Amino acid sequence: MYQLDYKPPYDWKWMFGFLAGRAVSGIETVSETHYCRSFALDNHQGLLTLVPDEAACQLNVTLSAGLQPVASEVLQRIKQLLDLDCQPQTILESLGDLSAARPGLRLPGCMDTFEQSIRAILGQLVSVAMAAKLTSKLAQTFGEPLAQDPDWRLFPTPERLALLRPEQLKALGMPLKRGEAIIHMARLMVEGKFAHNRPADVEHGVKVLTTYPGIGRWTANYIALRGWQASDVFLPDDYLIKQRFPGMTPAQIRRYAERWKPWRSYALLHIWYSDGWVPSTSEPSELVNGKITGIQ
C-alpha cells in the first residue's frame, strides 16, 4: 500500500459524490469511502483502489500487481485526479467569501487526458447520467477486458477508436457528428498531435481544441478544466453559470470572473455547487482597460 499526503481541508464526500455521478460501469466503482478503477499505462494494466484516511490527511492507495512496475507514474496520475497537490489555504484566501461555504472543494482532474476528452465529447448536450451510460457502452464495446479480471474493462485506446467508422459509434446512441469528433481526436492522439499534457499557454491550447471537429468552446474549456487540470479556466457559456449571472452576457460574465484570477477554475466549482449564490452588487463595478474594478 502507498500513502499520498494532502493538505486539509478536503471534502472527500463531495469529491467521491462527483466521481460517483460520472462513474463508468465496468471501469469505475465509487462509494462514500472508496474509489476503484481499472487503468492501463504503457503495457501495464490493473486495478487501483483509493481510500482516504482523513485523520492522517493521507490517501491510501492499493495497486494490483500489474500496475506495480509503473507505480510512480500511476501515483502521479492519482494526484492529478484528486488534486492532491493543491494548496487550499492560498486558494481560500484568494477567493474569500466565495469559498467560505465549501472550503474543502478540490478540482476533479483525471487519470488520462485522452479518456477525459472523449468523456467530455460524450457529455455534450446530455445529462451527466446519460454521458456515463454512453461511456460505459463505449468501454464495453471497444475496450479490452482487464487481463487479470475480465469482469473489468479498460477504456478504449486511441489506436482502437481511430480505426472505427462513425456509424459504429452512432449505433451506441450518439449523433454521427459526435462519433466523427471522437474518431478525429483518437487519430490526433495516435499521430502525436493531441496535447496530452497541459500546454504552457492554456488559452492558446483551448483555441486549438476548438479547431477540431465537434469541439466547441464549452467542451474545449471543460477538457482544459479536467483533462489538463488547469487552475484558471472559467465557463461563461455554461448553462448553470448563466443562470447564476442573470441578465449578463457571457462576455460580461467572463469579465466579472477576472477578479478570481488565477483560480477561476476553483471559483467556477464554488459557483456551480453553491445554491443561491448571486454576483455581488454592493459596490459598483466598471470595466477599465479591459479589467473589472470595484468589488474584488
Model confidence over 200-229: pLDDT tens digits? 999 999 999 999 999 999 999 999 999 999
Q: What's 282's domain CATH number? A: 1.10.1670.10
Mean pLDDT of 254-262: 96
The model's pLDDT over 10-38, given as tens digits with 9 standing for 90+, comes to 999 999 999 999 999 999 999 999 999 99
Beta bridge partners of 40: 45
251 and 277 part of one domain? yes
21 and 95 part of one domain? yes
> Given this model, what pLDDT does residue 295 score?
28
The reply to whether 5 belongs to the active site is no
At residue 111, does pLDDT exceed 60? yes
How many angstroms from the chain centroid is the CA of residue 162?
Answer: 22
> Looking at 99, 124, 151, which one is the last position of a domain?
99
* Active-site residue (options: 83, 112, 232, 238): 238
Look at residue 21 and tell me if it is in a domain: yes
> Given this model, what pLDDT does residue 293 score?
32
> Given this model, what pLDDT does residue 281 score?
67
> Given this model, what pLDDT does residue 283 score?
40
**What is the pTM (predicted TM-score) of this model?**
0.91
220 and 183 part of one domain? yes
Q: What's 154's domain CATH number? A: 1.10.340.30
Look at residue 92 and tell me if it is in a domain: yes
> Looking at 72, 99, 126, which one is the last position of a domain?
99
Look at residue 104 and tell me if it is in a domain: no
What is the percent of the chain with per-residue pLDDT over 90, rounded to a whole number?
Answer: 91
At residue 275 the predicted structure's pLDDT band, cuts being 50, 70 and 90, is confident
22 and 80 part of one domain? yes
Question: Where is pLDDT greater, at 113 or 287?
Answer: 113
At residue 294 the predicted structure's pLDDT band, cuts being 50, 70 and 90, is very low
Look at residue 58 and tell me if it is in a domain: yes
Look at residue 216 and tell me if it is in a domain: yes
Angle at 100 between CA 98 and CA 102, to 5 degrees: 100
219 and 124 part of one domain? yes
44 and 129 part of one domain? no
Residue 257 in grid coordinates:
470572473
Look at residue 106 and tell me if it is in a domain: no
66 and 125 part of one domain? no
Look at residue 232 and tell me if it is in a domain: no
Q: For residues 21 and 36, give the distance between their C-alpha atoms in angstroms, rounded to a whole number.
A: 14
> Given this model, what pLDDT does residue 195 score?
86
Look at residue 283 and tell me if it is in a domain: yes
At residue 246, does pLDDT exceed 70? yes
CA quadruple 30, 35, 40, 41: dihedral sign: positive
117 and 194 part of one domain? yes
> Given this model, what pLDDT does residue 286 score?
43
> Looking at 65, 99, 133, which one is the last position of a domain?
99
Angle at 212 between CA 209 and CA 215, to 5 degrees: 70
The model's pLDDT over 54-94, given as tens digits with 9 standing for 90+, comes to 999 999 999 999 999 999 999 999 999 999 999 999 999 99
Q: What domain range includes position 20?
A: 2-99
Number of folded domains that form the chain: 3
At residue 285, does pLDDT exceed 80? no
